[in-house]
Amino acid sequence: MQILYTLKTVLWSFIGIGGGRKQGDDFKTNPLVLIAIAFTFLLIFVGILVIIAKAMVIAN
């Protein structure tokens, strides 16, 4: 369940809000896991942006 909590924390932070959690609860998670999950989601997000940009170039 800790991984699900960490995923939820990362996803809420990507849109810039805390998700209604108490401040300080994020410090209970392992920072390396938090960074790894955030980096993975960042790579996915950038990959999606690259695919969209390539599709727009092909469309024009």
Q: Encode pLDDT of 3-34 as tens digits.
A: 787 888 888 887 777 655 566 665 677 788 88
- Residue 45: give the domain boundaries: 2-59
Domain count, the chain: 1
Token representation of residue 37? 């999950």
Residue 41, C-beta contacts closer than 8 angstroms, at least 6 positions apart: 10, 11, 14
Distance CA 21, CA 19 (A): 6
**What is the DSSP annotation of the chain?**
-HHHHHHHHHHHHHTT--TTPPTTGGGGS-HHHHHHHHHHHHHHHHHHHHHHHHHHHHH-
pLDDT at 58 over 70: yes
The confidence score (pLDDT) of residue 50 equals: 98
pTM of the model: 0.67
